[in-house]
């Protein structure tokens, strides 16, 4: 019986894949499987993974014939997984030795639907501990209660799928899959759905995932059109939260987060290709128009001046943006 399935998408990461696979080997156990999903890489990544399938205990290699993006690759892994528990890792990140046995022990002891963990952010040689923004640790809690308050950073603002472990019953309930085809922000609708619809979760102070930032070729570093998928991702968050029985209570948080993300992208608009920058302004203005306007006014009145001013200007541009579309 497979106890833990580890889903690891790879795409053009030949310079990092060996470190990732070495760290998986240092976490191998007889009842663990490692599902290595190549998302149609164009470099030597497939050769590295084909060799790993032979050499890494528990490795299962799956290759996409067409690039589908991170969300689709993770879904392939979920559909392939046989484990009682599932977790994720990205193909350019790595693990501390023995981390997965400790993570599995934590969720088995707590008996909840999912567990969230801290991680180490790695930028060049710098190492920074990033903690789950939730103070109560080591106890089983209601995930819905960790969404609020609206004006503070909460668990839904810590969306990293690899920072945790998840019971198979979440797959059976349709809660663990990602929105197919999303190229960025794929974990935002996912984390919101988990916190709205799962029954129990816990946070544990367990470090072991090393998250590599500043990778050349990463979507966070490239200002191309794929970055604009954050609009589709947050539209989904708003739509699904609006349909929730507690929409009146939860929507202010969703709207505030969406506004903060739009403002963030606009503040970095110079990194985008000129045509994509124009699309960003137009699509962001249309997104602002789609939001519940009373809630939007409340959010803008309570945001910091820089972000609220940027968004108010965008709000005034809505008619022109609508005409342009």
Digit-coded pLDDT (tens) for 237-266: 999 999 999 999 999 999 999 999 999 999
Strands lying side by side in the sheet with 85-88? 59-63, 32-38, 4-10, 85-88, 164-167, 114-117, 201-204
pLDDT in tens, 79-127: 999 999 999 999 999 999 999 999 999 999 999 999 999 999 999 999 9
- Structure confidence at residue 217 (pLDDT): 53
- pLDDT > 70? residue 215: no
Q: Which of 131, 161, 123, 157 is nearest to 258 (CA)?
A: 157
Q: Which pLDDT tens digit goes with each residue over 141-168?
A: 999 999 999 999 999 999 999 999 999 9
Q: Is the pLDDT of residue 325 over 60?
A: no
Residue with tokens 């968004």: 311
SS (H, E, C) the chain: CCCEEEEEEECCCHHHHHHHHHHHHCCCCCCEEEEEEECCCCCCHHHHHHHHHHHCCCEEEEECCCCCCHHHHHHHHHHHCCCCEEEECCCCCEECCCHHHHHHHHHHHHCCCEEEECEEEEECCEEEEECCCCCCCCCCECHHHHCCCCCCCCHHHCCCCCCEEEEHHHHHCCCCCCCCCCCCCCHHHHHHHHHHHCCCEEEECCCCEEEEECCCCCCCCCCCHHHHHHHHHHHHHHHHHHCCCCHHHHHHHHHHHHHHHHHHHHHCHHHCCHHHHHHHHHHHHHHHHHCCHHHHHHHHHHCCHHHHHHHHHHHHCHHHHHHHC
pLDDT at 319: 55
Name the residue among 76, 6, 3 with its Cα closest to residue 38.
Answer: 76
- Domain annotation for the chain: domains and CATH numbers: 4-213 (3.90.550.10), 225-324 (no CATH)
What digits encode the pLDDT tens for the residues 17-61?
999 999 999 999 999 999 999 999 999 999 999 999 999 999 999
What tokens does 39 get?
């998302």
Residue 69: the pLDDT is: 94
Q: pLDDT band at residue 216, thresholds of 50, 70 and 90? A: low
Query: What is the overall mean pLDDT for the chain?
Result: 94
**Residues 6 or more apart in contact with residue 53 via CB below 8 angstroms:** 36, 59, 60, 61
The span from the CA of 80 to the CA of 275, in Å, is: 39
CA distance 296 to 33: 46
Burial class (CB in 10 A: 0-12, 13-18, 19+), 216: exposed
Residues 43, 14: contact at Cβ < 8 Å? Answer: yes
């Amino acid at each position: 019986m497979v106890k833990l399935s580890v889903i690891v998408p790879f795409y053009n990461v030949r310079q990092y894949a060996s470190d990732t696979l070495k760290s998986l080997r240092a976490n191998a156990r007889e009842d663990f499987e490692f599902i290595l999903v190549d998302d149609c890489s164009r470099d030597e990544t497939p050769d590295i993974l084909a060799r790993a399938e032979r050499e890494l205990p528990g490795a299962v290699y799956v290759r996409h014939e067409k690039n589908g993006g991170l969300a689709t690759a993770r879904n392939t892994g979920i559909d392939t997984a046989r484990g009682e528990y599932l977790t994720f890792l990205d193909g350019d990140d790595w693990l501390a030795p023995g981390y997965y046995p400790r993570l599995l022990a934590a969720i088995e002891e707590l008996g909840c639907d999912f567990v969230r963990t801290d991680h180490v952010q790695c930028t060049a040689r710098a190492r920074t501990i990033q903690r789950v923004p939730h103070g109560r640790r080591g106890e089983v809690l209601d995930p819905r209660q960790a969404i609020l308050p609206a004006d503070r950073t909460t668990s839904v603002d810590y969306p990293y799928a690899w920072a945790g472990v998840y019971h198979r019953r979440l797959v059976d309930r349709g809660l663990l899959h990602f929105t197919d085809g999303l190229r960025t922000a794929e974990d935002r609708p996912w984390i919101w759905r988990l916190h709205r619809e799962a029954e129990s979760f816990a946070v544990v102070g367990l470090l072991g995932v090393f998250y590599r930032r500043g990778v050349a070729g990463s979507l966070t570093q490239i200002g191309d059109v794929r970055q604009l998928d954050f609009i589709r991702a947050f539209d989904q968050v708003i739509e699904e939260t609006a349909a929730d029985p507690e929409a009146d209570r939860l929507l202010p948080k969703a709207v505030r987060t969406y506004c903060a993300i739009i403002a963030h992208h606009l503040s970095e608009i110079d990194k985008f290709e000129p045509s994509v920058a124009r699309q960003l302004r137009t699509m962001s203005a249309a997104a602002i128009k789609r939001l519940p306007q009373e809630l939007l006014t409340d959010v803008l009145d309570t945001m910091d001046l820089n972000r609220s001013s940027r968004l108010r200007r965008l709000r005034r541009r809505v008619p022109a943006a609508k005409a342009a579309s």
